[in-house]
């Protein structure tokens, strides 16, 4: 009997994997089809089957055809930039701080750079990039180069005036200090940073500068925010098949919305915009 159950379990797992593969394959196919009716019909058919933890959004499918319909005239990069900016303005609300959580092995720098540039182009002020291996932190400069390159490619010379400020742990080099800000995060900024702050507080207790009773939530919050007044991330877009935060800033994600996309490889602007649309309709009640 146990053998039968374990066979059944394996079969079930295979079934779910196959289902996922079909769903993601069809999603790619859908993107190339123009017919709106088709998209809606197939999307409606797929919806009940999609076994995904973080709810994906179907709206992006609709948006796709709108985007393609926009006539491209004059300077390509100019019109693109204006379109992205107006896309950002068309949303009811836009995150001030977005986190890009890469839960995949072997990240693609170009795709991440594209995502960062799109986020900035729609008008998001703070972009954090995170992976739990600390790969981006280690290859900080490579990512920065890639971002500057993609910025020029996607937004043209005009667009480069955005400038990028690179923050990592507050001590590393600062490039150009002008908004928007890109921050590269690793697990060290998460629990380890909280431990550092705890140690710092305990040290001042040891030196009789503070009493244990003085320690409060707001005191910790201020210390964890560092000198920069960066708000907590409003939205984390997670890429990859793992449904976990993988140590992404535990203190700061109290009210963060999580939206999941299957992969960051070959990601399109429409995928990102779909996630932003989904975020813009979320309501927060703050305990009320």
Partner 1 sequence: MSWIKEGDLNLLEKISANVLKAGPMPKHVAFIMDGNRRFARKKNLERQEGHMQGFNKLAETLRWCKHLNIPEVTVYAFSIENFKRNKEEVDGLMELAKQKFERLLEERENLEKHGVCIRVLGDLNMLPLDLQEIIAKAVVTTREHNKCFLNVCFAYTSRYEITNAVREMAWGVEEGLIRASDVSEALLSECLYSNNSPNPDLLIRTSGEVRLSDFLLWQTSHSCLVFQSVLWPEYSFWNLCEAILQYQLNHKSIQKARDLHREHQALQQLEADRACVAEHLQHHGNGKPVDAQRRQEALLHYTDCREERVQDFLEALKHKRDSFFNDLCSEAISA
Under the binding rule (CB under 8 A), the answer on residue 23 touching partner 1 is no
> What is the C-alpha separation between 204 and 210, in angstroms, rounded?
6
- The reply to whether omega before 12 is within 30° of 0 (cis) is no
Binding residues for partner 1, how many (CB under 8 A)? Answer: 63
Under the binding rule (CB under 8 A), the answer on residue 187 touching partner 1 is yes
> Which residue from 66, 158, 206, 209 is in contact with partner 1, where contact means CB under 8 A?
206
Closest CB 254 distance from partner 1, rounded Å: 4
Helix axes 59-69, 269-280, angle to 10 degrees: 130
> Which residue from 46, 153, 257, 265 is in contact with partner 1, where contact means CB under 8 A?
257
| 1-13 exposure pattern, b = at least 16 Cβ within 10 A, e = fewer | eeeeeeeeeeeee
Under the binding rule (CB under 8 A), the answer on residue 203 touching partner 1 is yes
Under the binding rule (CB under 8 A), the answer on residue 277 touching partner 1 is no
Stretch that binds partner 1, among 36-44, 48-56, 113-121, 138-146 (CB under 8 A): 48-56
Helix axes 2-32, 59-69, angle to 10 degrees: 20
Q: Which is nearer to partner 1, 148 or 194 (CB)?
A: 194
**Is the CB of residue 44 less than 8 Å from the CB of residue 251?**
no
Q: Parallel, antiparallel, or unpaired for β 97-102 and 235-239?
A: parallel
Q: Which is nearer to partner 1, 177 or 200 (CB)?
A: 200
* H or E element that contains 238: strand 235-239
Closest CB 223 distance from partner 1, rounded Å: 10
> Which residue from 62, 132, 140, 280 is in contact with partner 1, where contact means CB under 8 A?
132
> What is the C-alpha separation between 86 and 111, in angstroms, rounded?
22
DSSP secondary structure code for residue 187 in this structure: G
Under the binding rule (CB under 8 A), the answer on residue 5 touching partner 1 is yes
Under the binding rule (CB under 8 A), the answer on residue 259 touching partner 1 is yes
Closest CB 14 distance from partner 1, rounded Å: 11
Q: Parallel, antiparallel, or unpaired for β 165-167 and 181-185?
A: parallel
Q: Considering only residues 75-114, where is the footprint of partner 1 by CB under 8 A?
A: 103
Q: Considering only residues 210-229, where is the footprint of partner 1 by CB under 8 A?
A: 210-213, 215-217, 219-221
């Amino acid at each position: 009997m146990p053998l039968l159950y374990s066979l059944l379990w394996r079969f079930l797992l295979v079934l779910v994997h196959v289902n996922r593969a079909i769903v993601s394959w069809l999603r790619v196919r859908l993107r190339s089809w123009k017919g709106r009716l088709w998209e809606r019909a197939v999307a409606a058919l797929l919806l009940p089957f999609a076994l995904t933890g973080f709810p994906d959004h179907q709206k992006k499918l609709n948006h796709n055809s709108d985007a393609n319909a926009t006539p491209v005239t004059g300077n390509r990069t100019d019109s693109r930039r204006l379109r992205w900016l107006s896309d950002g303005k068309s949303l009811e609300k836009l995150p001030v701080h977005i986190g890009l959580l890469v839960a995949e092995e072997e990240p693609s720098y170009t795709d991440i750079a594209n995502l960062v540039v799109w986020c900035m182009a729609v008008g998001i002020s703070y972009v954090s990039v995170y992976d739990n291996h600390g790969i981006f932190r280690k290859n900080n400069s490579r990512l920065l180069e890639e971002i500057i390159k993609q910025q020029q490619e996607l937004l043209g010379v005009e667009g480069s005036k955005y400038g990028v400020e690179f923050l990592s742990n507050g001590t590393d080099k600062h490039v150009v200090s002008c908004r928007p800000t890109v921050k590269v995060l690793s697990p060290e900024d998460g629990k380890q940073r909280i431990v550092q702050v705890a140690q710092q507080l305990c040290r001042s207790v040891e030196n009789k500068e503070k009493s244990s009773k003085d320690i409060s939530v707001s005191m910790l919050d201020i210390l964890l925010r560092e000198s920069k007044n960066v708000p907590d991330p409003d939205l984390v877009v997670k890429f990859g098949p793992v449904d976990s935060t993988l140590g992404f800033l535990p203190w700061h994600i109290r009210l963060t919305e999580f939206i999941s996309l299957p992969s960051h490889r070959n990601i399109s602007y429409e995928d990102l915009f779909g996630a932003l649309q989904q975020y813009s309709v979320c309501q927060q009640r703050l305990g009320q």
